[in-house]
Amino acid sequence: MKLNDPYGRKFKTLRVSLLNTCNLNCFYCTMGSEEDINFDHRPQKPAAFFSQIISRLHENLDLETIRLTGGEPLLYRELPELIRNLKAIGISKISMTSNGYLLGRQAVALQQAGLKSINISLDAMDEVSFYKMAKRKHLDRILSGIDAALDCGIEVKLNAVIMKGMNQDQILPLVHYAFGKNIPIRFLEVMSMGHLHQDADRYLFSQQQLLDTIARKYQFKRLPRAASATSNYWQTTEGNTFGIIANNSEPFCSDCSRLRLDAEGNMYGCLSSNHPIKLNPADNDFTLKEKLQLAMSQKQLHHFVGSELSMLQIGG
């Protein structure tokens, strides 16, 4: 099936939100306290459910990358089995986005199942700032998880959401940590999602402000942006790289190739869409192609507009 929109865009990356439960309460995702637990009482869909839908999508789209997200995907009970299933389907790159809180005890099993890379959300390098952002203690668990992933050969990138008035003082400590581990780090402008849909500008720490902060200690040059990439990248004179996902300052909608699947089997062609498209493993080819075309029509052209959906629901 040739699925292109009028601008030549297509779907090559599928982000799969495995569950709506998370063990952190990050400020940009929820408004919870330390005592609150973001727990979805609906039963988790089995690995076979996701595998069947993804297999059908792959047949039609020739997907290149599957990124497993949540909620928190490390809470998904059949995670190694699902990764093995996706590998058997023929997906060339299987990656994951996680807060890393439980990664220390799972890294080896995930690598053996076929996980190639992981993006770990890390918004602070000291306990006080970490608690301010995540409403949880034990930053050391995430740092141990990063070491465990590196030790077993999983490629690691760091993601850090920087919010004005919250954690902008953590930018240089995060850069220092990432460069010391020789792993890339990407900074994210806060997104107008969920409870911040109409209030994100209040917390926006822009791409230029990030660059100005990093320039206090490092010299760097901009690298060419890869097609359909979410990040702009820079390289320091020492050879380390960092990126910025500038949803507000420099949106990347124009060549986006991402498709999203939520924990209930709903498809979204764009993060900004509030309109789920229900998939069913039993959909015939004609119905599936119609739904994919509808998802393609949701894609934005230039500007990321956000959504009332929380990242907890649609996947980070």
Q: 85 by DSSP, 3-state: which?
A: helix
Q: pLDDT band at 221, cuts 50/70/90?
A: very high
Q: Beta-carbon neighbour count of residue 256 at 10 Å? A: 22
Q: Give the pLDDT confidence of 188-210 residue by residue, as tens digits.
A: 988 766 555 565 678 889 999 99
State pLDDT tens for residues 83-133: 999 999 999 899 999 999 999 999 999 999 999 999 999 999 999 999 999
pLDDT tier at 9 (50, 70, 90 boundaries)? confident
Domains of the chain: 13-314 (3.20.20.70)
| pTM to 2 decimal places | 0.91
Q: How far apart are CA 66 and CA 15, in angstroms?
A: 6
Return the beta strands (E) in 137-291 as ranges: 155-162, 185-189, 220-222, 232-236, 241-245, 258-261, 266-268, 277-278
**Phi, psi values for residue 123, rounded to 5°:** -100, 0
Cβ–Cβ < 8 Å for 34, 279? no
Provide the pLDDT for residue 31. 64
